[in-house]
């Protein structure tokens, strides 16, 4: 770093010597000594000679700098042979931890609100296949897609959460924190596009404002089946050499996915065989009861219909609830079919739901009764009725946009449920492997430290050697560093999802766009609500001071390789 700072001064000194052969004193002494004025030709000749000497000096300095960086790289490669012992002493992150983006005092929180699907309810890997198959059948039977599409099977190894689909160009994209396409994260159908193909389609890897209007984010945990079905349909049309409009593919797949939810097909499928799709969870009951004992208010706000929530809660908690207990006794307010995110911006009235008659009452709702169920409604009326306002309320949800964006803007505190942090036993196999456990493994940290040290050397090379790219030694070193960096990237990516890599990071080491949205809309995030049992209800949760974006990322220092 000291050398890097001194080089501009050295270079400017050399240039000054080249074009200004002496200072004013030198010129004066020369004039007095010889008592003649040099001819222009003589002056130019002297300048050229000194310039040649100065350029030789500069090239010599650059050769020395390249040699020093080469020496550092060779020394680092010796450290790459084995995992440093010091790596085992670096701190590891807890998959069950609560990670903080914005400071949160739990003693100030008096009201806890919860989404249902993938927040209180945990599902097995079979659910994505069920949604995929039901949506595929709807597209064939109702939208007249080719019967051949019925042979498609859901591939749990293909998608990750947080992808974007380009409705204009038909590509599935993984974007980084700055809105640029990850070089190894762009697929057309099931085919990965090369950097050259990405540039031919988009002109640049950066997604501009106009292009962003054609993108749709796939952010919730139902999006795995949606992303896979979109890619499979696009690939079918490509293989069959049929013309198609990419926006129609998205429109039809999205409508089919919405249909299987709104029609109740997926709800009935789950309740018909809850052992296959739902995971029992007595810890969430412990958490809810603890909150009640501490005098906290609880509400449930979900888009699912009441019969589905009721059936699922009874199954999940039946081994833990007492004979006379009901899960509804845990909540002060239960709202189903809330139509989020419209719930937050509309002015729809609440309707009281009669579960015996399966219909909605016509009477005005101006108070919430604990033993009643409510449908629809809006945030404005909810606040007017409950008087629960601002930071005294925290809401838990898995969808960053539908669940958390508007509550965050309304002043509520928000907790994102990110299952990728800790994949539960028998849980959704379409999720990546437990990403925190992977980051805790020595093999991953070893590659990460290698990647960082190569990045440092590349930065030093680019900052130091500004005019020597034609130098053979420089070019050779640059190619070797880039090659070693690519190897480290590929090894790290293979530890996560084979198609798109890690959910929170890109191959270039930047946080992903999905990570950006977590940071933007979630005050805290964790793998499941019951992780709050590990913290006192009066805890103060503080954001780390030394993070870039995601608190659960540990940067392994490259210095581990320098002192072996």
Catalytic residues: 115, 117
Burial class (CB in 10 A: 0-12, 13-18, 19+), 329: middle
Provide the residue count of the chain: 564
Long-range CB contacts (within 8 A, 24+) of 259-265: 259/135, 259/138, 259/142, 260/131, 260/134, 260/135, 260/138, 261/222, 264/305, 264/308, 265/134
The one-character DSSP state at 125 is T
User: Among positive and negative, which fits the CA dihedral 458, 463, 469, 474?
Assistant: negative
Q: Report how far Cα 285 is from the mean position of its chain's Cα atoms.
A: 29
Could you give the CA distance from residue 192 to residue 497 in angstroms, rounded to a whole number? 14
The answer to whether 117 is annotated as binding is: yes
Could you give the CA distance from residue 124 to residue 126 in angstroms, rounded to a whole number? 5
Could you give the CA distance from residue 27 to residue 32 in angstroms, rounded to a whole number? 9
547 CB contacts (<8 Å, ≥6 apart)? 553
The one-character DSSP state at 404 is I
Burial class (CB in 10 A: 0-12, 13-18, 19+), 472: exposed
Q: Do residues 261 and 225 touch, judged by C-beta distance below 8 A? A: no
Long-range CB contacts (within 8 A, 24+) of 520-523: 521/400, 521/401, 521/404, 521/405, 521/408, 521/414, 521/416, 522/101, 522/400, 522/404, 522/408, 522/414, 522/415, 522/416, 523/100, 523/101, 523/102, 523/104, 523/394, 523/408, 523/413, 523/414, 523/415
546 CB contacts (<8 Å, ≥6 apart)? none
What phi and psi values does residue 457 have, to the nearest 5 degrees?
-65, -40
The answer to whether 166 is annotated as binding is: no
Could you give the CA distance from residue 494 to residue 347 in angstroms, rounded to a whole number? 48
Could you give the CA distance from residue 249 to residue 229 in angstroms, rounded to a whole number? 9
What are the strands of the beta sheet with 111-114, ordered from one edge? 99-100, 524-526, 413-417, 393-397, 111-114, 297-301, 333-336, 373-376, 350-354, 359-360
Q: How many CB atoms lie within 10 A of CB 142?
A: 12
Bridge partner residues of 113 (DSSP) = 299, 395
Binding residues for Mg(2+): 115, 398
Binding residues: 115, 117, 398
């Amino acid at each position: 770093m000291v050398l890097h700072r001194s080089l501009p001064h050295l270079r400017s000194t050399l240039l000054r010597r080249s074009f200004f052969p002496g200072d004013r004193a030198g010129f004066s002494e020369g004039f007095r000594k010889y008592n003649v004025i040099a001819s222009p030709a003589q002056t130019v000749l002297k300048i050229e000679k000194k310039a040649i000497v100065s350029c030789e000096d500069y090239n010599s300095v650059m050769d020395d700098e390249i040699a020093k960086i080469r020496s550092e790289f060779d020394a680092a490669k010796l450290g790459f042979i084995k995992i440093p012992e010091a790596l085992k002493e670096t701190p590891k992150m807890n998959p069950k931890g609560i990670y903080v983006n914005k400071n949160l005092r739990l003693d100030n929180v008096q009201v806890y609100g919860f989404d249902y699907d993938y927040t209180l309810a945990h599902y097995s890997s079979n659910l994505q296949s069920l949604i995929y198959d039901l949506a595929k059948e709807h597209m064939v039977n109702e939208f007249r897609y080719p019967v051949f599409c019925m042979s498609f099977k859901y591939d749990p190894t293909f998608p990750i959460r947080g992808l974007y689909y380009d409705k204009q160009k038909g590509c599935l994209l993984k974007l980084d924190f700055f809105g640029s396409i990850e070089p190894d994260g762009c697929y057309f159908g099931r085919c990965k596009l090369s950097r050259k193909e990405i540039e031919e389609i988009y002109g640049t890897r950066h997604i501009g404002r106009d292009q962003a209007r054609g993108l749709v984010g796939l952010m919730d945990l139902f999006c795995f089946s949606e992303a896979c079905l979109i890619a499979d349909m696009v690939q079918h049309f490509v293989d069959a050499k049929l013309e198609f409009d990419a926006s129609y593919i998205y429109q039809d797949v999205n409508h089919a996915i919405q249909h299987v939810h709104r029609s109740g097909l997926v709800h009935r499928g789950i309740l018909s065989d809850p052992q296959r799709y739902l995971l029992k969870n007595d810890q969430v009951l412990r958490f809810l009861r603890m909150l009640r004992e501490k005098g906290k208010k609880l509400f449930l706000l979900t888009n699912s219909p009441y019969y589905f929530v009721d059936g699922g809660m009874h199954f999940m908690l039946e081994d833990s609830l007492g004979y006379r207990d009901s899960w509804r006794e845990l909540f002060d307010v239960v709202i189903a079919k809330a139509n989020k995110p419209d719930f937050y911006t509309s002015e729809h009235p609440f309707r009281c739901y009669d579960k015996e008659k399966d219909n909605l009452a016509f009477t005005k709702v101006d108070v919430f009764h604990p033993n009643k169920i409510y449908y629809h409604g809006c945030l404005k009326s909810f606040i007017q009725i409950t008087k629960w306002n601002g930071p005294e309320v925290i809401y838990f949800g898995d969808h960053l946009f539908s669940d958390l964006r508007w509550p965050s803007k309304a002043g509520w505190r928000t907790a994102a449920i990110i299952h990728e942090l800790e994949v539960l036993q028998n849980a959704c196999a379409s999720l990546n492997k437990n990403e925190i456990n992977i980051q805790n493994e020595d093999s991953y940290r070893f590659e990460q430290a290698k990647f960082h040290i190569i990045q440092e050397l590349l930065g030093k090379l680019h900052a130091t050697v500004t005019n020597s790219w034609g130098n053979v030694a420089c070019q050779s070193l640059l190619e070797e560093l880039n090659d070693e960096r690519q190897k480290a990237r590929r090894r790290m990516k293979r530890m996560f999802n084979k198609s798109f890599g890690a959910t929170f990071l890109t191959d270039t080491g930047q946080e992903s766009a999905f990570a950006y949205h977590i940071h933007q809309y979630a005050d805290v995030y964790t793998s499941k609500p019951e992780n709050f049992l590990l913290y006192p209800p009066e805890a103060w949760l503080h954001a780390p001071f030394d993070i870039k974006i995601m608190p659960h990322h540990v940067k392994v220092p490259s210095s581990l390789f320098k002192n072996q």
